[in-house]
Amino acid sequence: MDNGASSYRRFLDGDDEGIVEIIRDYKDGLILYLNGYVNNIFVAEELMEETFVKIVTKKPKFTEKYAFKTWLYTIGRNVAMDYLRRHKKMADTPIDDLESCLIEEQGVERSYLQEEQKIVLHKALHSLKEEYRQVLYLTYFDGFSNADAAVAMKKSKRQIENLVYRAKQALKAQLEKENFVYEEL
């Protein structure tokens, strides 16, 4: 599969398996990306579903100008922005609720410690400005290039480079306040 584009073309040609592959490959990352906008994992799941419903029903045109993932996340971002405009207030899911869910799912002590590190990083990320969270998520956790992140966030490539630098500095400062060093930064 060439990053989802061929699956989407197959879907447009009538092969329903194409959309199944797209959903399977991109739903989890899209949920986490949308959660950065709405700060509620359950709403993010609904917005992910709404994004795929929009794709299935409206069948928007995809061009090879951008990566398929960038195109998909841009549609998801637009769905999230529409949601935020409709609701005018961002709902928060306390991070402690998510933490308890993770703890219940992890049975092995090593996995538990790794998840705790991720939670501290997640908390630190959520203490940053929204733009910083978004650019870090796109470029580091979801593997977007600066150019693709610029398209998804509707910014110039130079603005993204500056945002990445400032976001990394802010995240580092936040983690240092908590005496935490994350090995993958």
Which option is the CATH number for 5-87: 3.90.380.10, 1.10.287.3510, 1.10.8.60, 1.10.1740.10?
1.10.1740.10
* The pair of three-digit structure tokens given for residue 106, joined into one six-digit string: 């992890």
- The values of phi and psi at residue 159, to 5°, are -60, -40
Q: Between 178 and 64, where is the model more confident?
A: 64
Domain assignments of the chain as residue spans, ordered by start? 5-87, 127-177
| pLDDT of the residue at 89 | 47
Tally DSSP H helices, then E strands, for the chain: 9, 0
* The pair of three-digit structure tokens given for residue 143, joined into one six-digit string: 């593997």
| pLDDT of the residue at 45 | 94
Fold of 127-177: Arc Repressor Mutant, subunit A (1.10.10)
Residue 22 CB neighbours (<10 A): 22
Name the band, by pLDDT with cuts 50, 70 and 90, for residue 182.
low
Name the band, by pLDDT with cuts 50, 70 and 90, for residue 70.
confident
- 56-71 burial by CB neighbour count: b if 16+ within 10 A, else e? eeeeeebeeebbbbbb
* The pair of three-digit structure tokens given for residue 107, joined into one six-digit string: 């049975």
Angstrom distances, CA of residue 118 to CA of 62, 102, 126: 34, 11, 12
Residue 184 CB neighbours (<10 A): 7
Q: Which of 25-29, 75-79, 102-106 has the least mean pLDDT?
A: 102-106
| pLDDT of the residue at 105 | 44
Name the band, by pLDDT with cuts 50, 70 and 90, for residue 95.
low
Q: Between 167 and 183, where is the model more confident?
A: 167
| pLDDT of the residue at 166 | 92
Q: What percentage of the chain carries pLDDT values higher than 90?
A: 23
pLDDT at 107 over 50: no
Please determine whether the domains at 5-87 and 127-177 fall in the same fold group of CATH: no
Q: Which of 17-21, 57-61, 79-83, 101-105 has the least mean pLDDT?
A: 101-105
Instruction: Kindly report the pTM of this predicted structure.
Output: 0.55
pLDDT at 115 over 80: no
pLDDT tens profile 150-173: 888 888 989 989 998 998 898 888
Residue in the block written with tokens 């060439």: 2
Q: Average pLDDT, stretch 65-93?
A: 80
Report how far residue 158's alpha carbon sits from residue 145's, in angstroms, rounded to the nearest whole number: 12
pLDDT at 82 over 80: yes
Cα 130 to the center of its chain, rounded Å: 12
